[in-house]
Every structure is written in C-alpha cells, then in structure tokens.
C-alpha cells in the first residue's frame, strides 16, 4: 500500500462516530493516510484525491438497512466519472444494533458497486453496538479490531472482521436504554417523552 | 390506509381508497443524523420540509407499495432519502425482534408491503435487493412483504395492476 484515502460518509460527518472510527484507523495505519468528509459538493475533489491513492477506506454508519445516501451519491458519481487509477476499496461500517451481521447488506452494496465498476474490494470491519462502544470499557476491543483492519489493508490482505460489545442481548437492551435516556436527559427530554407513540404530534 | 410511495410520476387515478405520493415532486433533504427526532423533539424531524408530511402517512398505512429504481442492490437516491427521513416513526430504544435487536416503533401500523424495484437489474442486484427488503421487514414493521421487479417501461403497468386489485377488493 502506498497511500490511503479515508472517506467519512456519515450524514453527520463532522460530529459523527464515524469520525472517531476514522481517526482511530488513521492512528493505527502504518502507511500515509489522509481523511476527508463526504458531502454533496465535494465529489469531484474526492475522486481527484483517489487518483493519488492505492487504497480507499469508506467509513460510514448503517442507515435504514443500507448505505447512507451520502455514500450512495458519491458511488454514483464515481461510476459516472471514475478516477483513472482505481484504488482498492475497503469498508469500516458501524451500526447501533448489537449484531455486526446487520451491516452485511450495506457491505455487499459496496462490494456490488466495486464488481460493477472494476474496483478491487479489500477488507471489511463491521462493528455492532457502534453508537456507544467507544464510550464503554469495551472500546479496547473496537480499537484492537481497527488496528487489525489497518494492518490487513497495509499488507494487501482481504479479511472480514467484526466486533461488538460482548453482552447478552437482554443486558444490551438495558444498557442501550440507559444510553439513550442519558442522551435525552442532556436535551431536557424525559424517557417518557422519548417513548411517545405520537408522530408529528398526532 | 393504503399508500403508494414512488420515486417517479405514475399515472394513477386519484381515489379515496389510497394515497399516492410522488417523491420526485417533493422537497426532501438528507437526514443529518442529529437524533433530534429521538432525543429533542421525539416523533418530529427537526428539518421541516416535505418529508414531515410523508412519514406520518407511512406510519398510518397498513398496505403500502413502494416503487423505486434499484441501484447497487438497494433503493436509488430519491426513495432512500425518504426512508432515511422516516426514522421519527421509530424510538431510539431497542427491542428484540425475531431474536435480533431493532428499534421500537411508535404508532406504526403493521404493513402488507409490496416493493416494486425497477430498472436494468442484474441477478446479483435482485438477490441483494431481496435481502435488503427482508431487513426492512424487521425495521419497518412489515407483517408480510412481496418484491416484484420490472423494467423501467413495465413498472407503471405493474403498479397500476396492483393498485386496481386494491380498488376492486
């Protein structure tokens, strides 16, 4: 690997968990890397940056069971005006659910894009409980797998890795409830208000 | 309520038996992932555009037809943008569904869903799209679902046939 471009395709890129994952990856990566956020207006610039890189890592959250629109739009532009030199594409995806396998469809969307457009597909890290894991004692597990992903990509290995909180599901449900209740409390919103069944007040 | 949600114009005769939403005519911005609809104004998106009129219809409908071009084995941009903006109909909290963790639904009617995927769709794309809809079924409260594929030219006739089955029932 010569140089790696890390693209954060989270819809809330500047304040996202994906930003934290991308930073951890960059710190662990033995090769030169550059990290950029994806937005609607910088696709041409990012595709230009791909020309200078041997490898590309997409970092993004699972969104409505698939890739976020932020990434979908970029992939379509990469299809429309591809870089002349196509990097190897790897994926670091996280979802808030406990099961890393819930990310599989989104990963296969990127894999399919690569197959259709002549990109070599590299390695994957799929993270479950990704909304909260970095703020728990289990963060070390996530960091270790991110480091392993970085080494796999650096060595040109194609591996699929996964990590999640090692919790029984019922305990995870309790922990996630507590996490979201605290999130609401910081906004002055009670758990009862967060549990409303009303939609648009109706 | 019955709902046809489409990413393109369709020649459907208006009826009091179903609602038709042509998403291509609406102004719907990207979800910004702020979690406001879960933790600040629960059940309401903080972006006050046309999506706020659509997700209540999705929630209230017990029969839906979603019509979308297929791209990389998923919904293309128009439909995917709307579905991402529909998360106010869920809570932040997690429950178990078929042994998997998923979000709790607010007042979302269980649905009989038909997904019409159209375009020039390869075998691999079809298989992936079927897997996606099976995932959607867990997260979008589909009690049952079917997926039909059509070319761009055939999609409208296919939807009209399905809608006429509604209106004749």
Radius of gyration of chain B measured on its C-alpha atoms: 16
Q: Report the domain count for chain B.
A: 1
- How far is residue A18 from each of residues A8, A194, A199, measured CA to CA in Å? 6, 25, 29
Q: Report the domain count for chain A.
A: 2
Q: In Å, how far is B12's CA from the nearest CA of chain A?
A: 28
Based on the domain organization, do A99 and A61 belong to the same domain?
yes
Pick B88's closest partner by Cβ from A12, A96, A199.
Answer: A199
Based on the domain organization, do A98 and A183 belong to the same domain?
no
Joined together, the tokens standing for residue B168 give: 């004749």
Residue A38 pLDDT more than 90?
yes
Q: What number is the average pLDDT over the span A123-134?
A: 95
pLDDT for A79: 98
Q: Is B32 in contact with A198 (Cβ distance < 8 A)? A: no
Based on the domain organization, do A115 and A201 belong to the same domain?
no
d(CA A149, CA A96): 20
Nearest residue of chain B to residue A177 (CA atoms): B93
Burial of B61-97, coded b for 16+ CB within 10 Å and e otherwise, reads bebbbbbbbbbbbbbbbbbbbbbbbbbbbbbbbbeee
Which residues of chain A are within 8 Å of residue B86 when distances are taken between CB atoms?
Answer: 64
Whether chain B has a CB inside 8 Å of the CB on A103: the answer is: no
pLDDT for B48: 98
Based on the domain organization, do A141 and A196 belong to the same domain?
no
CATH of the domain at A93: 3.40.50.360
Using pLDDT thresholds of 50, 70 and 90, give the confidence band for residue A2. Answer: confident
pLDDT for B15: 80
Strand ranges in chain A using DSSP code E only, listed in sequence order: 3-8, 32-37, 55-61, 88-94, 121-127, 160-163
Which residues of chain A are within 8 Å of residue B104 when distances are taken between CB atoms?
Answer: 195
User: What does the H/E/C string look like for B121-133?
Assistant: CCHHHHHHHHHHH
Based on the domain organization, do A94 and A188 belong to the same domain?
no
| Angle B141-B57-B104 from CA coordinates, rounded to 5° | 35
Using pLDDT thresholds of 50, 70 and 90, give the confidence band for residue A15. Answer: confident
Pick B128's closest partner by Cβ from A72, A109, A176.
Answer: A109
State the average pLDDT for chain A: 96
Based on the domain organization, do A40 and A98 belong to the same domain?
yes
Based on the domain organization, do A112 and A186 belong to the same domain?
no
What DSSP element (H or E) covers B36?
helix B36-39
Strands B100-105 and B142-150, sheet pairing: unpaired
Q: In Å, how far is B119's CA from the nearest CA of chain A?
A: 15
Based on the domain organization, do A90 and A28 belong to the same domain?
yes
Based on the domain organization, do A17 and A31 belong to the same domain?
yes
Q: Per residue of chain B (169 residues), give pLDDT as tens.
A: 999 999 999 999 878 889 999 999 999 999 999 999 999 999 999 999 999 999 999 999 999 999 999 999 999 999 999 999 999 999 999 999 999 999 999 999 999 999 999 999 999 999 999 999 999 999 999 999 999 999 999 999 999 999 998 877 7
Pick A176's closest partner by Cβ from B56, B87, B94.
Answer: B94
Based on the domain organization, do A18 and A103 belong to the same domain?
yes
CATH of the domain at B122: 3.40.50.360
Using pLDDT thresholds of 50, 70 and 90, give the confidence band for residue A202. Answer: confident
Q: Is B135 in contact with A102 (Cβ distance < 8 A)? A: yes
Q: In Å, how far is A186's CA from the nearest CA of chain B?
A: 9
pLDDT for B17: 85
Give residue A200's domain range: 167-202
Based on the domain organization, do A59 and A150 belong to the same domain?
yes
Mutate to test the interface with A, among B31, B38, B73 (most CBs of A within 10 A): B73
Percent of chain A with pLDDT over 70: 100
Q: What's the N-to-C CA distance of chain B in angstroms?
A: 14
Give residue B13's domain range: 2-168
B12, with CB counted inside 10 A (0-12, 13-18, 19+), is: middle
Based on the domain organization, do A192 and A123 belong to the same domain?
no
Which residue from A143, A147, A176 is spatially nearest to A159, judged by alpha carbons? A147
Q: What is the pLDDT of residues A109-122, one digit of tens each?
A: 999 999 999 999 99
Nearest residue of chain A to residue B125 (CA atoms): A112
Size of interface A-B (CB pairs under 8 A): 153
Whether chain B has a CB inside 8 Å of the CB on A83: the answer is: no
């Amino acid at each position: 690997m010569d140089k790696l471009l890390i693209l954060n395709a989270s819809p809330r890129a500047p304040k996202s968990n994906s930003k934290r994952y991308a930073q951890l990856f960059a710190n662990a990566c033995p090769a030169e890397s550059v990290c950029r956020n994806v937005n609607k207006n910088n696709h041409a610039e990012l595709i230009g940056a791909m020309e200078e890189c041997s490898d590309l890592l997409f970092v993004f959250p699972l969104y409505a069971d698939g890739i976020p629109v932020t990434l979908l739009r970029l992939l379509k532009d990469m299809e429309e005006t591809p870089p002349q030199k196509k990097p190897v594409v790897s994926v670091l995806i996280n979802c808030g659910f406990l099961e890393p396998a819930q990310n599989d469809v989104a990963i296969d969307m990127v894999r399919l894009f690569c197959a259709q457009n002549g990109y070599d597909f590299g390695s994957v890290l799929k993270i479950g409980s990704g909304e909260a894991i970095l703020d728990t004692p289990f963060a070390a597990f996530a960091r270790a797998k991110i480091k392993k992903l970085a080494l796999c990509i650096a060595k040109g290995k194609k591996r699929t890795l996964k990590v999640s909180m090692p919790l029984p599901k019922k305990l995870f449900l309790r922990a996630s409830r507590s996490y979201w209740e605290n999130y609401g409390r910081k906004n002055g919103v009670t758990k009862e208000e967060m549990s409303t069944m009303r939609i648009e007040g109706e | 309520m019955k709902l046809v949600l489409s990413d393109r114009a369709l020649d459907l005769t208006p009826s009091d038996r179903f609602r038709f939403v042509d998403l291509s005519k609406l102004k719907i911005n990207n979800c910004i992932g702020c979690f406001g609809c879960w933790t600040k104004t629960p059940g309401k998106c903080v972006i006050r555009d046309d999506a706020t009129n659509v997700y209540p219809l999705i929630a209230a409908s017990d029969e839906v037809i979603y019509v979308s071009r297929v791209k990389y084995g998923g919904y293309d941009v128009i439909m995917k943008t709307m579905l991402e903006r529909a998360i106010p109909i869920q809570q932040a909290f997690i429950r178990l569904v078929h042994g998997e963790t998923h979000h709790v639904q607010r007042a979302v009617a269980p649905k009989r869903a038909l997904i019409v995927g159209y375009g020039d769709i390869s075998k691999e794309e079809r298989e992936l799209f079927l897997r996606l809809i099976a995932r959607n079924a867990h997260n979008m409260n589909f009690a049952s679902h079917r997926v039909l594929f059509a070319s761009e030219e055939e999609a409208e006739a296919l939807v009209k046939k399905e809608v006429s089955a509604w209106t004749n029932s």
